[in-house]
Amino acid sequence: MKKLTLSVASCATLALSLTMANTVHAESTVDYTKMSSKEAADYMLFMTNSFKLDLPVQEGGTARDRLVQDEIQKICTEFRGKRPDAETAAKVSKMARESIKYPAGGIKLGDWKIGRELAWSGFGYRVGHKNDDHSKAKNGPGGNCYNCHQLATDRTGGNLGPSLTGYGKLRGNSEAIQKYTYEVIYNPHSLFACTNMPRIGANELLTQEQIGHIMAYLLDPESPVNK
Amino acid sequence: MRAKTCVLLLSALTLGSVQASSEFADMAPEEILERLIEDSSSAYLGQSPQNRQMMPDNPAYWVAEEGEELFSTPRGPNNVSLEGCDFGKGPGVLEGAYVELPRYFEDTGKVMDLETRLVHCMTTLQGFDKKDPAVKKRHGSGSDMMKLQTYIAMQSNGMEWNPPMDHPMEKAMRDAGEEMFYRRSGPMDFSCQTCHGTTGQRIRASVLPNVNEPHEWTKAISWPAERAGHQNVRSTQHRLRGCLWQMRHPGIVAGSDASIALISFWTDAARGQPAILPDLKR
């Protein structure tokens, strides 16, 4: 009786894997010319094994989650980098504001020396042929700040974002400036709807503590950014 | 006699219009780049005089030399060469074939880029198994794949990017690729446009090409190219993989529908500009 059950089970498994093998090649039976370009793109992204969607990612879950768009991503995609209209901008900024979580003890500046390393580091969250192992990074994943911004003048920064050289020197260190700086870093859409800048806090790229270190790098008068 | 002259004249004119910009086709890659820099003053194109100086000695030429030999050598279980492979302009026709890829192929019913077409010919004509290292190994100057791709692509140096858009599938793939190009997702909300939508944008010290500027975009997509920092010749699919990795998007499968869609879009974006093959990049 046991033998029979086993062979039925293996038969079923074989049938299932054959069916799955057919669905793996589903793209050859799909007609992209009958879909809108958006439908075709979505189909290719999720249904054709074009991406390694089942690989685990550093934040938990799988790579598939990274292709699913949230509300802000869906809205901002439509503008293709151009500034959204005032109504959409207001809507996006409001959503962004509502996402901001302030530190429990209030906003505090951390250590600019750690902030300097975090700002320079481009390490973290990469997946695919190589996966960033966060346990190997002394300060955790980096902020990628220098990729887009010029900060201190001893290192070369990009220009996708505005220069932040002399950031604290120009603005001072008031509570209002600290709050503003925290909000821009945490969720830049709160002030710049559909910005190209990542949502460092809202998307949990950096912890509140790490953001505090980067804020120190920006605002501490002793930081190279302000020398 | 008159009819014969007429036919000759007609065929001469037709051949002439196949590559409208034959002035570039006679130039070395660095000369093409030099001319584009002169005409545009593009910060992207002109960012590395050092790389331009190295181009006449591009290691990619040696890789291509090995590729030329591989191409005409009978190989695989079927012991045939790749001379019977149709890259879109007829079996074994390599001149101008690369700048007309990706394109729709009747025999497979799919839009294919050079890499997928090579895999197809190596497995069907030559009889290699998909898992055979000759087919499976896609990266590195030492791979058959890069030797063949570099050689084949070189035969389109200086010719205008001209991927066909007549077949509905070609348009469908290209348009889907455009959607993907602008689609924001992932933990950093990046799309390709984030980096490649504006002229003169720089990540750290590297100036990025703007997809909306064909004279910049032609260099951007001129692969295979020697990556000086990698000391290897890299392919189009390798570049795509690298972008998605830095964008924090999931890893893409080479030759997949999504990869072909993106490559279709980005080749169309360089339409009309001369290809620089092989190129040399940082």
pLDDT in tens, A123-147: 999 999 999 999 998 888 999 999 9
Give the pLDDT band (50/70/90) at residue A28: low
Lowest mean pLDDT among A13-27, A146-160, A213-227: A13-27
Q: Between the CA of residue B234 and those of A77, A169, B115, what are the distances in Å?
A: 30, 45, 12
Over residues A112-131, mean pLDDT = 97
What percent of chain A is helix, strand and coil (3-state, nearest 5)? 50, 0, 45
B281 bridge partner residues? B227
Q: pTM here?
A: 0.90
Task: Say if residues B220 and A104 touch (Cβ distance below 8 Å).
Answer: no
Going from N- to C-terminal start, the domains of chain B cover 22-273
Residue ranges in chain B modelled with pLDDT below 70: 1-22
Whole-number pLDDT of residue B15: 46
Distance between CA atoms of residues B238 and B242, nearest Å:
6
Chain A, nearest residue to B168 by Cα? A33
* CATH of B22-273 given 3.40.50.800, 3.40.50.1390, 1.10.760.10, 1.10.10.60: 1.10.760.10
Q: Tell me what pLDDT residue B248 has.
A: 98
pLDDT attached to residue B23: 87
Cβ neighbours for A178, distance < 8 A, ≥ 6 positions apart: A107, A109, A215, A219
* Chain A neighbors of B197, CB-CB under 8 A: 80-81
| Pairing between β-strand B202-203 and β-strand B232-234 as defined by DSSP bridges | unpaired
CB contact residues (below 8 A), chain A span 86-105, against chain B: none
CA-based nearest residue in chain A for residue B245:
A126
One-letter amino acid at A133 equals: D
pLDDT in tens, B29-86: 999 999 999 999 899 999 999 999 999 999 999 999 999 999 999 999 999 999 999 9
Kindly tell me if the per-residue pLDDT of A165 is higher than 50. yes
pLDDT score at A139: 85
Question: Degrees (nearest 5) of the Cα angle A53, B176, A45?
Answer: 10
Whether A53 has its CB under 8 Å from any CB of chain B: the answer is yes
Its CATH architecture, for the domain A86-226, is Orthogonal Bundle (1.10)
- Minimum distance, in Å, between the CA of residue B257 and any CA atom of chain A: 6
Interface contact B246, partner A, CB < 8 A: yes
Q: Is the pLDDT of residue A5 over 60?
A: no
| Most A-contacting residue of B108, B120, B138, B185 (CB-CB within 10 A), to test interface | B185
Neighbours of A226 (CB within 10 A): 20
Q: What's the complex ipTM? A: 0.90
Residue-level pLDDT at B2:
52
